[in-house]
């Protein structure tokens, strides 16, 4: 099968039909998350494929753990011989919050990022007092 590039203003029934919001998969944009318990700890695993460790921000405030990830997937289009037929790279931001308890401190949370998965581990019960918003470092 040979792919023939089409002009920008040409109508393509299939591409245009599947770009309709009806066919958009909203769940694919979410930060898919698993939460489990192991011994005296909770473990949160968040899928963040395509992100780097530097793109992720984790904060604690008022008992809520907030995870934010930002990306900027831009491509230099200055090459005259190369033209894009279809492009899905974008700039975007996503975030999720989890209530983890008002006694948990940022020191109680261990974070790691490997192969596009952010893992957060923290104790089920933390006897410490709540502090103001603080950032959590990723190893």
Torsion angles phi and psi, residue 23, rounded to 5:
-90, -5
Percent of the chain having pLDDT more than 90? 37
Q: What is the pLDDT of residues 93-136, one digit of tens each?
A: 889 999 988 888 888 999 999 999 999 999 987 555 556 677 88
pLDDT of residue 130: 53
Cα-Cα-Cα-Cα dihedral sign, residues 52, 27, 90, 81: positive
- pTM, two decimal places: 0.63
Mean pLDDT value across residues 75-86: 65
pLDDT of residue 131: 60
Strand partners, 64: 61, 99
Q: Give the domains, in start order, of the chain with CATH numbers.
A: 31-75+88-135 (2.60.40.790)
Closest CA to 8 of 90, 88, 75, 84: 84
């Amino acid at each position: 099968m040979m792919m023939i590039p089409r002009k920008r203003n040409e109508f393509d029934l299939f591409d245009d039909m599947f770009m309709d919001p009806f066919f958009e998969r909203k769940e694919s944009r979410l930060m898919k998350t698993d939460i489990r318990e192991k011994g005296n700890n909770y473990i949160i695993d968040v899928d963040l494929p395509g992100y780097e460790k530097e793109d992720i921000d984790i904060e604690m405030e008022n008992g809520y753990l907030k995870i934010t990830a930002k990306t900027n997937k831009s491509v230099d289009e200055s090459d005259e011989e190369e033209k894009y037929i279809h492009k899905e790279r974008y700039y975007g931001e996503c975030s999720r919050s989890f209530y983890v308890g008002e006694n948990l401190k940022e020191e109680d949370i261990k974070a790691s990022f490997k192969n596009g998965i952010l893992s957060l581990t923290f104790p089920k019960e933390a006897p410490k007092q709540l502090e103001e918003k603080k950032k959590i470092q990723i190893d």
